[in-house]
Structure 1
Amino acid sequence: MHYGTLSLPARLFLLAWNTSRDKITGAPDLHLAVRAGALAELAQRGVLFEQDRIVTPVVGARTGDPVLDALAELVEQSRPRTWRGWLTHRSRTTLGAVREQLITQGYLRAERGRILGLFPARRFVLERAGHAEVLHAEALAVLRGGQPVAEVPQEEAALVVCAATGKLRTVVSGKDRRRYKDRLDELTDRAGGTSPELRALMSKLRDALGSAVASAEAARSSGGGGG
């Protein structure tokens, strides 16, 4: 299925949507997965690279996608950080920007309401459930071996790796993560294409995402919140 201008982080957002309940479920660390997807796409497009373990931008390089470009600009203007640092630094701003972008593109609709009849709030409704369902099916096919890894597009490989490592349970269960661990290792390599540097970068980004999610889970378990 062709998703037009949908970026990798936007597709990760849609993957987290439970179409039967019309809301996001089973994705407490979605902001981390979405930020990882944005970093991965910027790296695949040659906007970000790694130098001495530091995420380094190609100054002035842009993609034309406002969410990705906002992150590229933030990296340019901020102090040096590792992949782990960029996964957590203001990551919810990327999540919010992706949601607003999906509203603009017609994938979501925002409805105004009130919590307890008092406090203003917005409820989000998925307008294109069929797109999200096909996206889910395609991601599962990539994960479960629907085609040889060598034939999987780089961006699709990165999508599945971020969804699995970010623990988006609507599309990748814990059982699937364990069962297809070797496949996920291969997809991580595939996300880097033929470039040894990009393949190494994708592996480090996956490790950083796993570490960030584990830290967030530990914080929630201890009552300290997370993210």
Structure 2
Amino acid sequence: MDMTLPQRLYLLSYDIDGNRFDPVSTPYRGHLLRAAALTELIIGGLLRDNGGRAERTGRTPDDPFLADVLSGLSPNEPGHWINAVPDREWKAETTVREQLLANGSITVVRGRVLGIFPSRKVTLDHPERVRLLRERTRDAVLAGREAASVPIEDAALAAIAVEGDVWTVFTPAERQRHRAEVKALRERFEAEVPGMLNAILTAVVNRRAGTS
């Protein structure tokens, strides 16, 4: 599945059996999508950590959403990761959804509730592919593998899902049973994508408190 990390995270947030999105992480999904984008930019060498701040390397990605996320960061003055995650998060889900609609991954049916309020129903065009993506991401924690052996993109998606409380990937009970594996995965992610875990946690806590 040749997709960006934000696109994969969006699909992972969909409950295939329930035909709906994970309700727990819905209020801050835009933050998580931006965190996934920032993570991909770091992995791709377009961003780097400079003393706890996000520093651009001067390159620009081809993907429009990644490019938009990168454009929000100053090319001259490195900024805090904590500020990069919530920046313009309100537009992230719409942008990623339209990308997935364009590439044939989802179908979006628009309507109105009671003939007044706009509604939007998203369905997966290829649920079997999303199941495979989900199992691959879950295996990063549940398969008993060494954290260092997990491909970094899989480790990143799993770490973001854990920190973002995405129940369609890991339930609270699974995270509790696999505390050691989750801890090792977090340490791997933090080593390769420094500052992102704290930025995600801060965004989630602030969103739940209604401050962002």
TM-score by length of 2: 0.89
Shift of 1:78: 9.5
Aligned counterpart, 1:208: 199
Aligned counterpart, 1:9: 6
The equivalences for 1:77-156 within 5 A come to 81-156=79-154
Q: Which amino acid is the alignment partner of residue 207 of structure 1? A: N
Aligned counterpart, 2:40: 41
Distance 2:6 2:168 in 1: 16
Deviation digits for residues 62-108 of structure 1, max 9, x if unmatched? 23222111111222469753111111111122222111111011111
Q: Which amino acid is the alignment partner of residue 208 of structure 1? A: A
> Secondary structure of the residue that 1:46 maps to in structure 2?
coil
Moved more, 113-122 or 89-98: 113-122
> Secondary structure of the residue that 2:122 maps to in structure 1?
strand
Shift of 1:175: 2.2
Shift of 1:54: 2.0
Aligned-residue Cα RMSD (Å) equals: 2.1
Task: Note if 1:167 corresponds to 2:165.
Answer: yes
Shift of 1:151: 2.0
Deviation digits for residues 7-26 of structure 1, max 9, x if unmatched? 11111111110111212123
Whether the aligned pair in 2 keeps the contact of 1:43 and 1:49 (CA below 8 Å) is yes
Q: Which 4+ runs in 1 deviate beyond 6 A?
A: none
Task: Note if 1:23 corresponds to 2:49.
Answer: no
> Secondary structure of the residue that 1:75 maps to in structure 2?
coil
Shift of 1:212: 1.7
> Secondary structure of the residue that 2:110 maps to in structure 1?
strand
Distance 1:152 1:25 in 2: 25
Shift of 1:131: 1.3
Distance 2:100 2:92 in 1: 12
Whether the aligned pair in 1 keeps the contact of 2:56 and 2:75 (CA below 8 Å) is no
Distance 2:169 2:200 in 1: 17
Distance 2:76 2:174 in 1: 37
Task: Note if 1:68 corresponds to 2:66.
Answer: yes
Aligned counterpart, 1:50: 49
Moved more, 156-165 or 29-38: 29-38
Distance 1:14 1:107 in 2: 9
Whether the aligned pair in 2 keeps the contact of 1:188 and 1:203 (CA below 8 Å) is no
Distance 1:212 1:78 in 2: 24
Moved more, 181-190 or 154-163: 181-190
Distance 1:56 1:37 in 2: 17
Distance 2:201 2:181 in 1: 16
TM-score by length of 1: 0.83
Distance 1:77 1:98 in 2: 24
> Secondary structure of the residue that 1:88 maps to in structure 2?
coil
Whether the aligned pair in 2 keeps the contact of 1:152 and 1:190 (CA below 8 Å) is no
Whether the aligned pair in 1 keeps the contact of 2:54 and 2:78 (CA below 8 Å) is yes
**Alpha carbons of 1:218 and 1:119: their partners in 2 closer, same or farther (altered >3 Å)?**
closer
Q: Which amino acid is the alignment partner of residue 5 of structure 2? A: L
**Structure 1: runs of 5+ lacking an equivalent:** 193-198, 220-225
Whether the aligned pair in 2 keeps the contact of 1:189 and 1:202 (CA below 8 Å) is no
Distance 1:147 1:79 in 2: 39
**Structure 2: runs of 5+ lacking an equivalent:** none
> Secondary structure of the residue that 2:168 maps to in structure 1?
coil
